Structure 1
Amino acid sequence: MKRCFSGKRNSRRDIPPPPRLCFLSLATHCNVAWQVFQQSTLSERAMITVRVPAVLLLALLVFRAPGAAAMLRVVPAGGSITAVLNEASPGDTVWLEGSDYRENLRIEVPVVLTGEGYPTIRGGYEGSVIDVLANGTVLKGLHVSEAGTFLTRDLACILVQADSVQVLDCRITRPLHGIYVKGGSWTLIRGNRIEGRLDLVEEDRGNGIHLWNSKRNHVLRNEILNVRDGIYFSFADSTLVEENYIHGVRYGLHYMYSNYNRFVDNLFEENVAGAALMYSYKIVFLRNVFARCRGFRAYGILFQSMDSTLAESNLILDNSRGIFMNNTDFNTLINNDIVDNDLAIQLNGGCEGNRFLRNNFINNLSRLLLDVSDRETIWADSTGGNFWSGYRGYDLDRDGVGDVPFDIQNVFQIMETKVPEVRFYLFSPAAEILKAAERSMPILDLGKASDNRPLMNHSRNAGVPWDRVREIRTASSPIFAVLFLLGFLLQGIY
């Protein structure tokens, strides 16, 4: 799959319990039990003692369970999948022998629906293409296309309304929503490619993966592009999202009222926002990339009313704004690399108790914008603060921590917070004179933020996934930087 990657796996305690496997046939259970029995470490005498009763018991279980064994049901080319589904029993495999089927499916019995060479199921732009209502259903290796286009009806190429469903290695094209999990939990969504419709304007497209009123899902190694939002969470808790590649969408991750979720080793690239997180708490971001989100309202990560979130070892690269926080409290950002952004951090709305520790802030055009005095943000602890590429202090005791505090905002940056028009003169001689004068005679207390223990050298953030970005630029795009500055100027005028 294009541009997907295998990153470092998180520890097992970070991963929620896997989806339950439902409706295995009794014969399958017996076979597994027999294999374990054969590989056991019992003595030869003990094996002889229990072998005959065990064989008799297994045989009795199998022969006393009529119809327990799963069947393979073949749908020929030109045949009706629905007709075969109506005759299927739990655990059956429905094999699509043809290459193209035109019908909408309603799966009410747990089966494995698959075929060879990605057989196509087309919905004809009416309703959802596959509606899964049976717990334990498996969809594997399918091409699902042509969902209906009414956003108010929650239509999708694959609509999941059951628990323990698996959607594996499917290709989804021309969707409204790609995969919509509506009330189902314990869903495994792995190895799929979801491509939206470029013939629809962004506002009329659905989301790649949409989770609503759901929990304990696992979203793994999917590629999502050209949809509205890559993965949308709404009242969806305790889910693991890892190793996905999401690009060319509005928000790579759009997130509301969903708690205790983890995002590990994902790549969000060239979106309006890598992640837009709202009204939730207890979220973990580990080793993700948020890169090249460009535009006047573009962000690497946007936090709106988010509390107690941990972001560690992420790469936030070449965005208009790296991190934006509004009414967001008691979050920790540690060991991240924030590099080549037009603006590294913007704090609005009285954010309190947020901690920025051992991050590398490198080559950002502006470091920090505040709409209020920054008195509550923690920029350092006993082990040190952050590395700032603009720091010019000294370290006499050679403990790796600067002896002079670093003023994150200079007087010019404080002015541009209050008067956006002056941002147009960011690198002008006048701005440099102002900054030099303020360094020489720091007589104004403007409530600026300060890192009291700045690091002299880069923090060795070994977990930051630099290897996942193919083309690293050493500076932000000049064209987009100028457009960003002009946007601020126009905002101030109008």
Structure 2
Amino acid sequence: MRYILALWIVLWGSLCARTWMVQAGGEHTSLPAAIHRAAPGDTLRVMGGIYPGPIHIDKPLILMGTNWPVIDGNYQGTVVEITAPGVVLEGFLIRNSGINLSNEDAGIKVDAPRAILRGNRLEDVLFGAYLRQADSSIIRNNVIRGRTDLDIPRRGDLIRVWYSNAVTVDNNTLESGRDMIIWFSRGSVVQGNRVSRARYGVHFMYSDDCRIEENVFTHNSVGVYLMYSRRLILRRNTIAYNRGASGFGVGVKDFDDGLIEENLIVDNRVGIFVDNSPRSMDSHMTYRGNVIAYNDVGISLLSFVKRSILNRNSFLENYEQVGVTGAGFLKGNEWVGNFWSDYAGYDAAGDGVGDIPYRSEKLFEELTDRKPELRLFSYSPAIQAVNFAARAFPLVRPRPRVT
């Protein structure tokens, strides 16, 4: 009986919902006035034109833009603020937020669950789409461009998800912002996005059980950084040309039970950087089926990293295939079935598996792990001489990092 009553209320609400036209010269020319008059569940169809912000949506409404209506914030504060659940915002050009980092001025700020932000363009905004305690919201098919007149540290995050569980962020294009960041948010999906010219393509912190799949992260300082989280899956992403100060394609720190598989990681300063991951003694990390190619360093691990499983990865023509940071040598990890472009062994059986283990033991690489500034001499004749001497004289041969 209760189910029937609830269904009847929903159906009755949808039948009674009204569509309002907002346009220059029409009955409703002011977007705030139309929002004020509309009832929960109504649709506002907003025609092309320029509408001054800020706009506050405080009831569950559907706002549909036709011919790219512009909501202009006039460089003051947040342009669109949503505080009601179930709001849909689609088809708008939202521009010119304020630039106060302390106030977190944004193009769109959402403080309620189940929002849908779809097919919008955000330009010259400090923060782009900012979700705060907005569970089960969707950010889809938006194009968000940050403030190129500001240095990257002074820009906001083009997508920020904070304390918002089960969020979907998919098929967005982000350019010239600071980060896309997911904080304290469980069970979210980041899929099919393109992020470029940012600080971090995507940055996860304290967010468990999320998936990052089929994205393209290029020309950022760092492509992907996964920190203080558990059971994240990073799968089938393209991560390339990330060459900032650290220049990680993928960075992991204090990260447990992660799966990093089938990614294309190309032409970064460091393809994968591993810091204290896994963190817990009863957890592990898996790196499987990735193509790690043409990076300065293919994978760099802190010397105390253990319980990592690396199998079926292809290490292709990285200047340094494996780097070790800190004193000591790698122990307690599993390297099985990987392809190494500089493998010097043989396959007598013809089964595609080398008959002797791969050994990463170039003396110059060990020296550059200790003194990175020595990379200035990369590709010089002196380096060839150093590595030749290490092979010829066992007394100076370095201990293998990977066997």
When the two structures are superposed, what TM-score results if normalisation uses the length of structure 1?
Answer: 0.75
C-alpha deviation, 1:115, in angstroms: 2.1
Mapped pair 1:300 → 2:252: no
SS at match of 1:82: helix
Structure 1 counterpart of 2:322, which letter?
L
Structure 2 counterpart of 1:419, which letter?
K
SS at match of 1:113: strand
Q: CA RMSD in A?
A: 2.1
Q: Among 445, 448, 456, which residue is 2:400 paired with?
A: 448
C-alpha deviation, 1:432, in angstroms: 2.4
In the alignment, is the contact (CA less than 8 A) between 2:115 and 2:137 conserved in 1? yes
Q: Among 413, 419, 431, which residue is 2:383 paired with?
A: 431
Q: Structure 2 CA distance, aligned partners of 1:281 and 1:66?
A: 41
C-alpha deviation, 1:209, in angstroms: 0.6
Q: Among 333, 337, 344, which residue is 2:287 paired with?
A: 333
Unaligned runs of 5+ in 1: 1-23, 30-64, 452-494
Q: Structure 2 CA distance, aligned partners of 1:86 and 1:181?
A: 23
SS at match of 1:237: coil
Moved more, 93-102 or 239-248: 93-102
Q: Among 136, 159, 178, which residue is 2:109 paired with?
A: 159
C-alpha deviation, 1:246, in angstroms: 0.5
Q: How does 1:365-384 map to 2 (within 5 A)?
A: 365-370=319-324, 371=326, 372-380=328-336
1:362-401 CA-to-partner distances (Å, cap 9, x unmatched) read 1111112212311122212xxxx21111011111222221
SS at match of 1:280: coil
Q: Structure 1 CA distance, aligned partners of 2:370 and 2:135?
A: 47
SS at match of 2:335: coil
Q: Structure 2 CA distance, aligned partners of 1:414 and 1:215?
A: 44
Q: Structure 1 CA distance, aligned partners of 2:303 and 2:102?
A: 33
C-alpha deviation, 1:28, in angstroms: 7.9
Q: Structure 1 CA distance, aligned partners of 2:332 and 2:13?
A: 69
The aligned residue for residue 463 of structure 1 is none
| Residue identity (%) | 33
In the alignment, is the contact (CA less than 8 A) between 2:303 and 2:330 conserved in 1? no
Q: How does 1:67-216 map to 2 (within 5 A)?
A: 68-77=15-24, 79-216=29-166
The aligned residue for residue 345 of structure 1 is 299
Q: Structure 2 CA distance, aligned partners of 1:432 and 1:189?
A: 52
Q: Which has the larger radius of gyration?
A: 1
The aligned residue for residue 268 of structure 2 is 319
Q: Would you identify which runs of 4 or more consecutive aligned residues in structure 1 move more than 6 Å?
A: none
Larger relative helix fraction: 1
When the two structures are superposed, what TM-score results if normalisation uses the length of structure 2?
Answer: 0.91
In the superposition, relative to structure 1, how do residues 271 and 420 fare at CA in structure 2: closer, same or farther (>3 Å)?
A: closer
In the alignment, is the contact (CA less than 8 A) between 2:47 and 2:68 conserved in 1? no
SS at match of 2:184: strand
Q: Structure 2 CA distance, aligned partners of 1:25 and 1:155?
A: 39
Moved more, 156-165 or 404-413: 404-413
C-alpha deviation, 1:441, in angstroms: 5.5
SS at match of 1:194: strand
In the alignment, is the contact (CA less than 8 A) between 2:267 and 2:296 conserved in 1? yes
Q: Structure 2 CA distance, aligned partners of 1:309 and 1:81?
A: 46
Structure 2 counterpart of 1:355, which letter?
I
C-alpha deviation, 1:348, in angstroms: 1.9
Moved more, 308-317 or 75-84: 75-84
In the alignment, is the contact (CA less than 8 A) between 1:327 and 1:349 conserved in 2? no
C-alpha deviation, 1:208, in angstroms: 0.8
Which structure's relative contact order is higher, taking Cα pairs within 8 Å and 6+ residues apart?
Answer: 1
Q: Structure 1 CA distance, aligned partners of 2:183 and 2:298?
A: 28
SS at match of 1:110: coil
C-alpha deviation, 1:159, in angstroms: 0.6
Structure 1 counterpart of 2:253, which letter?
Q
C-alpha deviation, 1:214, in angstroms: 0.7
Q: How does 1:359-398 map to 2 (within 5 A)?
A: 359-370=313-324, 371=326, 372-380=328-336, 385-398=337-350
Q: Structure 1 CA distance, aligned partners of 2:244 and 2:35?
A: 48
The aligned residue for residue 410 of structure 1 is 362
C-alpha deviation, 1:352, in angstroms: 1.4
Q: Structure 2 CA distance, aligned partners of 1:25 and 1:133?
A: 25
Q: Structure 2 CA distance, aligned partners of 1:246 and 1:360?
A: 25
Aligned residues, how many? 388
Larger relative strand fraction: 2
Q: Structure 1 CA distance, aligned partners of 2:102 and 2:272?
A: 32
Mapped pair 1:278 → 2:227: yes
Q: Among 286, 291, 300, which residue is 2:240 paired with?
A: 291
Q: Structure 1 CA distance, aligned partners of 2:276 and 2:14?
A: 59
